[in-house]
Amino acid sequence: MNPMRSSGPLASLLRPARAALNVRRGRPALQHVTDGGVTLRWDGAPDDPQALDSVYRALAILEGSIAQLTLDRYSKTLGRPRGSATRDIQRMLGDGATLAGFLAETTRSLAMTGNAWIRHAADTPAGPRIRLLDPRRCGAVLDQATGAKTITYDGYKTTGILQLRLTHAAGEPLGVSPIQAWAEGLTGALDANRYASGWTQRGGRPTGILTTDQTLSADDAKRWKDAANKTMTPTGGVAVLGSGLTYKQCYLTPAELQLLDVKKVNTISVARIFGIPARLMLTSGDGDSKTYANMEQESILFVRHTLMPYMREIEQALSSIMNDDVRFNVDGFLRPDTTTRYAAHKVALEAGFLTVDEVRAIEGLNPIATEKQDEKGGSDDEGQAAPVDDGDETPQRRPDDGDADRDR
């Protein structure tokens, strides 16, 4: 039995992911083959999904959101924070790479192909090293009998590569990206985009009409039409009409073509398949309400249900490489307004599970003792936040802990 073959309800959905492993020598191309034989490429070709501004925007939002986050280390045994993981990860990436770039590229790989692949070399002269690989050159094969998974690179079995998957399905070795799952709809959106951009070149309505009160033979009509087509172009110069001919321009508005409606529908569809709020895609759905409370809740849901699957895969991969648990710090995304924060602080102080100095640390302020010391003797660190004790800081709740909205 071929381990890459499957049948049943998931077969049609997962077929694009298996097709994504097709690697061509020289210039590999990512292909998503659907039941209808549609092929989408990711190599700058006209049918590149990123040719759609909505897809480009969605990818930019995802990778930009995660790239701006920081990573912290936590003890695997006690769960206590152990400081930032940024420096250690940057050291493993080596010179010429940045953590923000690594996070952005990993997120894009997951969003485009459903998978990301990290090569980990534990023993090098410069210490441990990690590198993100081209997803078009990596693959995985699952032995259905034993459940053993084999990672391949350029078609050859290899080791030392970690696989990150956006989706998980029993019996399937590969994840599926939003683009792959929506391949048919994406093809239609690309067709509409090409049709709109090439409308005037391909025809439709004529660009203009020549009229006259005189009777013209077929040959005369053809002769004047050819003359008009030759001269009435952007580089054709000045047109001279005879025989009482009058030229009337034909205009087509976007509303007449319904191009704006089609574009809006496609943008909302892209936002839905990627799980991105419509307002971040610079569009709006029917019945959208843009109150502050709705936008705040929308941001929380965006982190919890859209960004979290990407972050979880990255966290688990980095945690398996390092000796500590690695977690994203999402406090900046979930930070409420000042009034809400202060009300939550008041409840915490009255209940006794936070101290004044802990509240001040959350707000980026020095402890009271430090402030008093600065007032008496002065300090070179005046105006700077006091360092946080890595061993005693209470980890912040994450949006997937189930009670992120409790204090809001």
pLDDT tens track for 305-361: 999 999 999 999 999 999 899 999 887 777 777 788 888 889 999 999 889 988 887
31, pLDDT greater than 60: no
150's enclosing H/E stretch is strand 149-153
What distances in angstroms separate CA 85 from CA 69, 88, 276, 312, one per listed residue?
12, 6, 28, 16
Q: What is the CA angle 246-250-253, rounded to 5?
A: 160
| Predicted confidence band of residue 366 (pLDDT cuts 50, 70, 90) | confident
The answer to whether the CB of 88 falls within 8 A of the CB of 114 is: no
Output the pTM of the full model.
Answer: 0.67
State mean pLDDT over 230-245: 59
Give the 3-state secondary structure percentages of the chain, helix then strand then coil, rounded to 5. 45, 15, 40
Q: What is the pLDDT of residue 334?
A: 74
Give the other-Cβ count within 10 Å of 251's Cβ: 8
| Residue 299 identity | S
What's the chain's average pLDDT? Answer: 75
| Predicted confidence band of residue 66 (pLDDT cuts 50, 70, 90) | very high
Q: What tokens does 71 get?
A: 């990573």
157, pLDDT greater than 50: yes
Higher pLDDT, 406 or 253: 253
**Residue 359, SS3 per DSSP:** helix
Give the other-Cβ count within 10 Å of 147's Cβ: 9
Q: What is the pLDDT of residue 349?
A: 92
pLDDT tens track for 127-147: 889 999 999 899 999 888 888
pLDDT tens track for 34-56: 333 334 445 445 568 888 899 99
Residue found under tokens 């990301």: 116
Kindly report which listed range (18-22, 185-189, 251-255) carries the lowest average pLDDT score.
18-22
Q: What tokens does 38 get?
A: 């549609």
| Predicted confidence band of residue 2 (pLDDT cuts 50, 70, 90) | very low
Kindly report which listed range (51-55, 91-95, 142-146, 213-217) carries the lowest average pLDDT score.
213-217
Query: For 385, which DSSP code?
Result: P
DSSP of 299-330: HHHIIIIIIHHHHHHHHHHHHHHSSSEEEEE-
Residue found under tokens 């009482």: 244
